[in-house]
Amino acid sequence: MEKSNLKCPFCGHEQEAEIPENKCLPFLECEECKKLITAKEGECCVICSYGDKKCPVGHKKKLQKKPRNYLRVTGFIVLIWLALMGTLLFVLTVFGSKIGMKTAFSREVKIVERSEFDIEDEYGKIQEDMALMLTI
């Protein structure tokens, strides 16, 4: 087993400790002052915190790449998609009738001479369209 020289943060005493190959050493008792040495915040063990070498487990963890935050990226893509769809719907609603397109909000109507019966018939069609839109 490999060994590392540890320096006690309390009394400054240097002692030799064995480096475990497959696990971290989260605490160790100082041989001189008998206080419990614990790992620094952000470090995996006392060897990485106070030793002259790094433990193999902690070293492997630091070498591993951090996974990307896919939830954040996916949420951003969905947000952009919704903004584009909203813009497209707005453009079709406002300019659709001007370019001859029928949309859910605009209706292309030819204005001709109308009799009373034509107006009632057109009114009935509008009511049917509105009822259809409400059922959707």
Q: What is the pLDDT of residue 100?
A: 55
Helix (H, G, I), strand (E, B) or coil at 7: strand
Q: What is the pLDDT of residues 96-120, one digit of tens each?
A: 655 555 544 445 555 555 555 566 6
Domain ranges of the chain: 3-63, 70-135
Helices and strands (H, E) in the chain, number of each type: 4, 4
% the chain with pLDDT above 90: 17
Residue-wise pLDDT tens digits, 31-69: 999 999 998 888 888 988 898 988 877 666 554 555 566
Residue 112, Ramachandran bin (φ over 0: left; ψ between -120 and 50: alpha; else beta): beta
Judge whether 13 and 30 are in contact, CB under 8 Å: yes
Can you tell me the distance from the alpha carbon of 38 to that of 48, in angstroms, rounded to the nearest whole number?
11
The strand pair at 36-38 and 27-29 is best described as antiparallel
Among the listed ranges 9-13, 22-26, 29-33, 46-50, which one has the minimum average pLDDT value?
A: 22-26
pLDDT at 131 over 70: yes
Total-model pTM:
0.43
d(CA 111, CA 118): 11
For residue 1, pLDDT over 90 is answered with no
Q: How big is the CA angle at 66 (ends 24 and 26), to the nearest 5 degrees? A: 15
